[in-house]
């Protein structure tokens, strides 16, 4: 049996299903936090996070459901947080945009575009000083590379040869604005390759391909000590923020979506497993198990208490 | 002269933009998302269709450079309007704002001027947390060379935006997201309002409430209830000008009533509320019957979850309770009151 | 316990750095020019020799990323000290400061902490103009989650820097360039001073002067002359803690003397001086015999040329004149007085 | 006669001599403004500014004596400004770091590293909108490219094809810190060439070479409408700030200086003219004329009045 591909699928399914559950409940208006959905990018998040060790570290953006779930394995805390409940690690202070689980190597996510990138570089510096072998991976979008701080951070990581992997999750959009209206160059990969940085580019939605690529990048970081840059393409299924489709708003076409949908990372991986002769019933059972866990933790989150007013001024300093 | 009609704050901004861009071909509007289909919550509707992509355009996500860009365009004769969906993003441009935009005119001894407007949206959205909830007017106001205004009513939105666009020095124009739906009488024709003066929003005689932006709405509610429950007549002074600030209206009101509460849409420490409290305390020394009190955000980053968010943002209830304390009234039982709680209406994301 | 000896403010900072880096291998010092031969005006002397280039290093000119870098190192267990030769350069990092550094602990509900010190030098140099002359403490202080301190004496420099380095939340540590040469008794052994409290620098009974940083030096001079010329006993309260601020010492003094002047090393509008004036006016209501006055920078960008620079910066003379007005004294003729005018000693560039 | 080379020499001499006059008087302590001297970079400043038209526009840094003098032809205002006098256009509000003469196309200089770069891009946008054919040139050091705003500005200029020339005056130092401690890449030129930007690189101290290069760059900007990047090397003769040498401080060697000194831009150009059979006496006379103008304007500045106190709050808004 192909254990790797099954494990990858489990994570893909978990991520996808978690967001489907969110969609089902979002209009109940109990999750009062802006949702930036991961749908479409699951292969990147799962492929990379699966290649990382438990104590490797990850930083994300407001669009971090997938990487959070893939990195941490947590579900219970996740739902409690987006429901804003006292049972969550952050007690609802962060919400969907600010997930954080340091013990599981998820070091936080920021809703200011590009602002976690230098933090990741500093975290990598600390790891290097500690000699703990940990790798830091920071995820960001193709919009983040517009920001000066991306360039400053890239330069510093290359200069100091820090063990950090920059992952640009390129959906060609910043909110609704295409790259063509934002970038005065053809290819970010070829620019970054002129820095002291290894670059890997990939457009696949196959999680195994991403996983292998991540292994290569991790190897390169461990080998050289210096950074890598992953330029990975995906298609954002839903609107920028919110849980609905938005193909009618005119800035992109449903046809494009349909093209990507044909190579949907989750379905594709399921098909691959079946081709590899994993029984469909077995998969169904696995999926049901995951779904049960998700639904239960969601219910637990729904019925959990809110934090008390005293929480507001705690942990400020 | 045309008449006036009820339009929303959002429409008032939009009308000001269209009328000024029509009048003056040097004016252009730009910023992240400005021409996209959401049109900055509708406020930039129709601009790209009317004026084309040369005068209404999107930008890379580069707040710092885009601010310097506006400055460069302004000293070379254009009149840029830069839009930020969130004031928090202006923090990336703080260097351009405080080291460049604010001093370029001074640095050229008036040879160059900086007719630039920076529109920034603030306001409690909906679970926005600590990176999408600041106001920052006091920090901008602290820097000489920057004008800062915060219109509250639709008429102010239009009149002050037109005045800002026609002004030859940089203006930071701060709009509260929740005010976008407020409707009121607004003249059809272009008109201007002063950029340095506060205005009495509701006359009264017993206590002065100085409020900024959305806090005026909370103050109006508080004033109604104070009147109903205590027979107290509160005067609300809308502090729509933050810097420079002609404090005459504020000081006159406080001197008249002898009591003053400042309700700012911001944190208190080193904020605009401190400036008002300091000035009122100094200039009304001897006429005040009670110390000036201040109301603002809780001293913490803004949390996401609703119950804590409710503790973070000041409201009519805080104003009422502070007024009761100031005037030494018995605390009214507010449990029966229905507050205009906008957050119940507002569905995410922002 | 070792003894104490007279050392300079600069040496006190240097000693604190060395002792803490010696004590705690997690501490490191970095920033533009930190290990170069000028050694941040001498304050980082000996660090790179003692602790090596891994714990004392130069950086690219990237203030924004370098601030985020410190944050990342801090949440991963190190204790960074980031140095800026000029506070003005911190404006490039305002986003990291106000959106990231200040809220990271909150954002992790205390799972992560940010033991980071940011040293920034301020102060009238010598024809520095408007981009090298800000103080900005009020803007930093406005953001919950940041500590801001401004030590004035050599002992404070050492004790507060050690306390800052040992503190688990971010501290912005603001040093006035002209204070670098001030000498005073400082204990040899490491010691800490509180980060949230003001201190009486000179006891008095007739009037309170609350001063920040260099303005304490001006206040001391003013107090001497007020005593000599008017027999007035001024109490100087050194507002060395800006945020958070336990205002007890300040309020007690103002209540005792009944008169209060705030002399801030900054612009007034929406500044720290407003916060102090607001608090004193509120908390001493009824005990004040005169309104609180404020003294600070002229409301303009800082000009280069000496005569205008002299108008820009507040001085002992402003304090004396304000005290005379406050206490309704006849204006003393100061033309015979020789003021300790540091700017005559100080030769450029900064 | 080679008129071009003579004109170039006159400007070189003016710049060099002006700074020499400053050095002579600086320790009188009457110019109370921090001096960042141009010595060594004259060929770049003169070569480029001479290629620009009068109404083309220039932005600089705190180290702008050379470009200011080369672009504006002004001397009188320059000295009045660094003496902080009322007779200067800026009445001493700016000082040495903030020269400005809009009528002569010198649009200002900033002492915050890299901060004039986006302003230049915006100025170029306005020129493009006006269709006035003006070109904006912005000068900055090899330290400025460390700052994120450089990258943001470069990107925007390339994206919008704006008529701006970026001039990186590379002296390999930021204050005392070499490029090797700041840059995580080998060559800025090759990186910028991956943007939609023409790049020209040159190490010559020959002003004519720089002038020809500038002509080429200007032609490229006028042709394409889009930006150019000039990567130009020079050697800073004096300390970072102040008017003295600093070879004893240990971060660089006098030997290196001597190597560059051999190809000093001013002396080299003088030699070239003599080779081209311009009589030495003629040159002497020209130099004397320039020196006289400089010394007179310096004296005028010294005896001019200071601005009145009322100036301080003027032109704030
Ligand atoms: C500094 C900053 N500017 C603007 C925004 C508003 N904003 C939020 S997401 C976004 C687009 C980001 O695009 P990208 O980085 O490609 O990420 P994606 O949403 O595509 O995952 C923008 C402009 C922000 N959050 N921060
Ligand atoms: C944003 C900013 N950071 C730091 C400084 C302090 N500083 C002044 S000049 C300088 C070095 C700049 O080097 P470069 O750009 O190469 O110019 P050069 O001095 O070599 O001409 C530094 C770090 C500053 N002025 N602005
Ligand atoms: Mg994107
Ligand atoms: Mg340099």
Q: Per residue in C174-183, pLDDT tens?
A: 999 999 999 9
- The band of C124, judged by pLDDT with boundaries at 50, 70 and 90, is confident
Determine, for residues B36 and A175 on separate chains, whether the beta-carbon distance falls below 8 Å.
yes
Considering the domain architecture, whether residues C167 and C207 belong to the same structural domain is answered as no
Q: What is the pLDDT of residue B125?
A: 75
Mean pLDDT of chain D, nearest integer: 97
Q: What would the two tokens of residue A232 be?
A: 């990975």
Considering the domain architecture, whether residues B37 and B124 belong to the same structural domain is answered as yes
Which of B336, B300, B298, B302 has the alpha carbon at shortest distance from B318? B298
**CATH code of the domain covering residue C318:** 3.40.50.920
- The band of B160, judged by pLDDT with boundaries at 50, 70 and 90, is very high
Determine, for residues A152 and C72 on separate chains, whether the beta-carbon distance falls below 8 Å.
no
pLDDT single digits (tens) D255-305: 999 999 999 999 999 999 999 999 999 999 999 999 999 999 999 999 999
Question: CB–CB of A220/A59 below 8 Å?
Answer: no
Q: What is the pLDDT of residue C342?
A: 63
Identify the H or E element spanning B201. Answer: strand B199-202
- Give domain status of residue B148, yes or no: yes
C-alpha span between D197 and D164 (Å, rounded): 10
Measured in angstroms, the CA of C196 and the nearest CA of chain D are apart by: 32
pLDDT single digits (tens) B287-317: 999 999 999 999 999 999 999 999 999 999 9
Determine, for residues D29 and C347 on separate chains, whether the beta-carbon distance falls below 8 Å.
yes
Candidate of A62, A142, A175 to mutate for ligand 1, largest count of ligand atoms within 8 Å of Cβ = A175
- Give domain status of residue A59, yes or no: yes
Q: What is the pLDDT of residue B124?
A: 85
The pLDDT of residue D97 is above 80: yes
pLDDT single digits (tens) D34-86: 999 999 999 999 999 999 999 999 999 999 999 999 999 999 999 999 999 99
Structural domain including D202 reads 3-252+283-305
As a dihedral over the C-alpha atoms of residue B267, residue B271, residue B275, residue B281, rounded to 10 degrees, the angle is 40
pLDDT single digits (tens) B6-44: 999 999 999 999 999 999 999 999 999 999 999 999 999
Q: Which ligand is closest in space to the CA of residue A45?
A: 1
Per the document, the length of chain C is 350
The pLDDT of residue A5 is above 70: yes
- Give domain status of residue D112, yes or no: yes
Q: What is the pLDDT of residue D225?
A: 87
- Give domain status of residue B144, yes or no: yes
Considering the domain architecture, whether residues B205 and B181 belong to the same structural domain is answered as no
For ligand 4, the distance from its centroid to the CA atom of residue D64, given in whole angstroms, is: 13
Per the document, the length of chain A is 317
Per the document, the length of chain D is 317
For ligand 3, the distance from its centroid to the CA atom of residue A48, given in whole angstroms, is: 18
Q: What residues in D contact B73, CB-CB < 8 Å?
A: 122-123, 125-126
Q: Could you tell me which chains touch chain C, where touching means 3 or more CB pairs under 8 A?
A: A, B, D
Q: What is the pLDDT of residue B343?
A: 58
- Give domain status of residue A90, yes or no: yes
- The band of C336, judged by pLDDT with boundaries at 50, 70 and 90, is confident
Considering the domain architecture, whether residues B134 and B29 belong to the same structural domain is answered as yes
Q: What is the pLDDT of residue B336?
A: 85
Predicted TM-score (pTM) of this structure: 0.98
Determine, for residues B37 and A251 on separate chains, whether the beta-carbon distance falls below 8 Å.
yes
Q: What residues in C contact D250, CB-CB < 8 Å?
A: 37
Is the bond preceding B244 in cis, omega lying within 30 degrees of 0? yes
Considering the domain architecture, whether residues C65 and C122 belong to the same structural domain is answered as yes
The pLDDT of residue B321 is above 70: yes
Considering the domain architecture, whether residues B85 and B109 belong to the same structural domain is answered as yes
Measured in angstroms, the CA of D223 and the nearest CA of chain A are apart by: 18
CA distances from C71 to A4, C20, C66, C139 (A): 36, 19, 9, 19
- Give domain status of residue B334, yes or no: no
The pLDDT of residue B339 is above 80: no
C-alpha span between B137 and B270 (Å, rounded): 11
The pLDDT of residue B1 is above 70: no
The pLDDT of residue D209 is above 70: yes
C-alpha span between A175 and A277 (Å, rounded): 41
- Give domain status of residue B341, yes or no: no
For ligand 3, the distance from its centroid to the CA atom of residue A114, given in whole angstroms, is: 11
- Give domain status of residue A186, yes or no: yes
Q: What is the pLDDT of residue B349?
A: 47
Q: What would the two tokens of residue B56 be?
A: 């209404």
Considering the domain architecture, whether residues B204 and B177 belong to the same structural domain is answered as no
Structural domain including B322 reads 199-326
Residues 6+ apart with CB under 8 A from D217: D165, D198, D200, D228, D230
Which of C187, C212, C238 marks a domain boundary?
A: C187
- Give domain status of residue D310, yes or no: no
C-alpha span between A37 and A48 (Å, rounded): 18
pLDDT single digits (tens) D143-165: 999 999 999 999 999 999 999 99
Is any ligand 2 atom within 6 A of the Cβ of residue D144?
yes
- Give domain status of residue A29, yes or no: yes
DSSP B331: P
Q: What is the pLDDT of residue B348?
A: 47
Considering the domain architecture, whether residues C222 and C322 belong to the same structural domain is answered as yes
Candidate of A174, A188, A238, A252 to mutate for ligand 1, largest count of ligand atoms within 8 Å of Cβ = A174
Considering the domain architecture, whether residues B27 and B87 belong to the same structural domain is answered as yes
- Give domain status of residue D257, yes or no: no
Cβ–Cβ contact D159 with A under 8 A: yes
Is any ligand 2 atom within 6 A of the Cβ of residue D227?
no
This model of the complex carries an ipTM of: 0.98
For ligand 1, the distance from its centroid to the CA atom of residue B85, given in whole angstroms, is: 11
A and B: number of Cβ contacts within 8 A: 128
Measured in angstroms, the CA of C302 and the nearest CA of chain D are apart by: 8
Residues 6+ apart with CB under 8 A from C15: C7, C158, C186
The pLDDT of residue B350 is above 60: no
- Give domain status of residue A316, yes or no: no
Determine, for residues B107 and C275 on separate chains, whether the beta-carbon distance falls below 8 Å.
no
Considering the domain architecture, whether residues C28 and C176 belong to the same structural domain is answered as yes
Q: Which ligand is closest in space to the CA of residue B66?
A: 1
User: How many Å is the Cα radius of gyration of chain A?
Assistant: 19
Determine the average pLDDT of the residues in A20-24. Answer: 98
User: How many Å is the Cα radius of gyration of chain D?
Assistant: 19
Number of domains in chain D: 1
Residues 6+ apart with CB under 8 A from B313: B124, B297
C-alpha span between B26 and B314 (Å, rounded): 41
- Give domain status of residue B350, yes or no: no
Residue of chain C with shortest Cα separation from A123: C72
Measured in angstroms, the CA of B213 and the nearest CA of chain D are apart by: 24
pLDDT single digits (tens) A203-238: 999 999 999 999 999 999 999 889 999 999 999 999
Q: What is the pLDDT of residue C339?
A: 77
Q: What residues in A contact B64, CB-CB < 8 Å?
A: 148
Considering the domain architecture, whether residues B60 and B177 belong to the same structural domain is answered as yes
Q: What is the pLDDT of residue C348?
A: 46
Number of domains in chain B: 2
Atom of ligand 1 nearest to the CA of B32: 23
pLDDT single digits (tens) C34-63: 999 999 999 999 999 999 999 999 999 999
Considering the domain architecture, whether residues B136 and B13 belong to the same structural domain is answered as yes
Determine, for residues A159 and D181 on separate chains, whether the beta-carbon distance falls below 8 Å.
yes
Which of A291, A241, A274, A297 has the alpha carbon at shortest distance from A15? A291
- Which of the residue ranges A1-5, C296-300, D150-154 would you say has the lowest mean pLDDT? A1-5
Which of D244, D311, B106 has the alpha carbon at shortest distance from C348? D244
Which of C187, C211, C241 marks a domain boundary?
A: C187
Query: Which member of C82, C84, C132, C259 is catalytic?
Result: C132
Residues in D whose CB is inside 8 Å of some CB of B read: 57, 89-91, 93-94, 98, 100, 102-103, 107-108, 110, 112, 115-127, 129-130, 148-149, 152-153, 155-156, 159, 314-317
The pLDDT of residue A165 is above 90: yes
Q: Which residues of C240-255 are buried (b: 16+ CB within 10 A; e: fewer)?
A: bbbbbbebebbbbbbb
**CATH code of the domain covering residue A216:** 3.40.50.970
Task: Tell me which residues of B are annotated as active site.
Answer: 132
Q: What is the pLDDT of residue C77?
A: 98
The pLDDT of residue B344 is above 60: no
- Give domain status of residue B295, yes or no: yes
For ligand 3, the distance from its centroid to the CA atom of residue A169, given in whole angstroms, is: 7
pLDDT single digits (tens) A272-288: 999 999 999 999 999 99
**CATH code of the domain covering residue B108:** 3.40.50.970
What percent of chain D is predicted at pLDDT more than 70? Answer: 100
- The band of C349, judged by pLDDT with boundaries at 50, 70 and 90, is very low
Determine, for residues D152 and A146 on separate chains, whether the beta-carbon distance falls below 8 Å.
yes
């Amino acid at each position: 049996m192909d254990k790797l591909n099954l494990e990858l699928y489990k994570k893909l399914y978990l991520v996808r299903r978690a967001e489907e559950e969110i969609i089902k409940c979002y209009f109940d208006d109990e999750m009062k936090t802006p949702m930036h959905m991961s749908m479409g990018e699951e292969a990147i998040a799962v492929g990379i996070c699966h290649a990382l060790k438990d104590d490797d570290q990850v930083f994300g953006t407001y669009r971090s459901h997938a990487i959070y779930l893939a990195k941490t394995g947590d579900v219970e805390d996740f739902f409690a947080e987006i429901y804003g409940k006292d049972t969550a690690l952050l007690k609802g202070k962060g919400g969907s945009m600010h997930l954080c689980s340091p013990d599981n190597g998820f070091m936080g996510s920021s809703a200011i575009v590009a602002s976690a990138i230098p933090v990741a570089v500093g975290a990598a510096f600390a790891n290097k000083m500690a000699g703990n072998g940990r790798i830091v991976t920071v995820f960001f979008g193709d919009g983040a590379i517009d920001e000066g701080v991306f360039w400053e951070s890239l330069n510093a990581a290359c200069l100091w040869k820090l063990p950090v992997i920059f992952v640009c999750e390129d959906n060609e959009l910043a909110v609704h604005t295409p790259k063509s209206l934002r970038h005065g160059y053809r290819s970010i990969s070829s620019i970054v390759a002129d820095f002291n940085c290894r670059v890997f580019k990939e457009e696949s939605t196959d999680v195994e391909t991403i996983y292998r690529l991540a292994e290569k990048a991790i190897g390169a970081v461990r080998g050289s000590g210096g950074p890598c840059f992953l330029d990975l393409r995906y298609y954002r299924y839903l609107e920028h923020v919110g849980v609905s489709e938005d193909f009618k708003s005119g800035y992109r076409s449903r046809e494009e979506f349909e093209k990507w949908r044909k190579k949907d990372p989750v379905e594709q991986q399921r098909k691959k497993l079946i081709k590899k002769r994993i029984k469909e019933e077995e998969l169904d059972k696995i999926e049901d198990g995951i779904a049960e866990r998700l639904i239960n933790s969601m219910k637990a989150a729904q019925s959990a208490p809110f934090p008390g007013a005293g929480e507001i001024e705690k942990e400020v300093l | 002269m045309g008449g006036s009609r009820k339009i929303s704050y959002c429409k008032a901004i939009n009308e000001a933009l269209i009328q000024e861009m029509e009048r003056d071909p040097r004016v252009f509007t730009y910023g992240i998302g400005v021409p996209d289909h959401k049109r900055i919550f509708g406020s930039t509707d129709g601009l790209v269709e009317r004026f084309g992509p040369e005068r209404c355009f999107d930008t890379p996500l580069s707040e710092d450079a885009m601010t310097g860009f506006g400055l460069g365009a302004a000293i070379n004769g254009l009149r840029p309007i830069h839009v930020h969906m969130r004031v928090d993003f202006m923090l990336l441009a703080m260097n351009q704002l405080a080291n460049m935009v604010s001093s370029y005119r001074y640095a050229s001894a008036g040879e160059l001027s900086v007719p630039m407007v920076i529109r920034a949206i603030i306001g409690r959205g909906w679970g926005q947390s600590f990176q999408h909830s600041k106001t920052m007017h006091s920090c901008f106001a602290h820097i000489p060379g920057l004008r800062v205004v915060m219109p509250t009513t639709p008429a102010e939105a239009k009149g002050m935006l037109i005045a800002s666009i026609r002004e030859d020095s940089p203006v930071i124009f701060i709009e509260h997201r929740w005010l976008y739906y407020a409707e009121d009488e607004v003249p059809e024709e272009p008109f201007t309002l002063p950029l340095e003066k506060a205005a009495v929003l509701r006359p009264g005689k017993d206590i002065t409430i100085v409020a900024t932006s959305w806090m005026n709405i909370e103050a109006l509610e508080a004033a109604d209830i104070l009147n109903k429950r205590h027979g107290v007549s509160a005067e609300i002074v809308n502090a729509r000008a933050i810097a420079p600030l002609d404090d005459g209206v504020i000081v006159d009101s406080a001197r008249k009533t002898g009591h003053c509460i400042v309700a700012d849409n911001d944190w208190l420490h080193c904020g605009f509320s401190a400036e008002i409290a300091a000035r009122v305390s100094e200039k009304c020394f001897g006429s005040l019957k009670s110390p000036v009190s201040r109301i603002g955000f809780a001293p913490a980053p803004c949390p996401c979850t609703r119950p804590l968010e409710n503790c973070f943002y000041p409201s009519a209830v805080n104003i009422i309770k502070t007024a009761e304390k100031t005037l030494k009234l018995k605390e009214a039982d507010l449990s029966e009151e229905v507050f205009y709680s906008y957050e119940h209406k507002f569905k995410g994301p922002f």
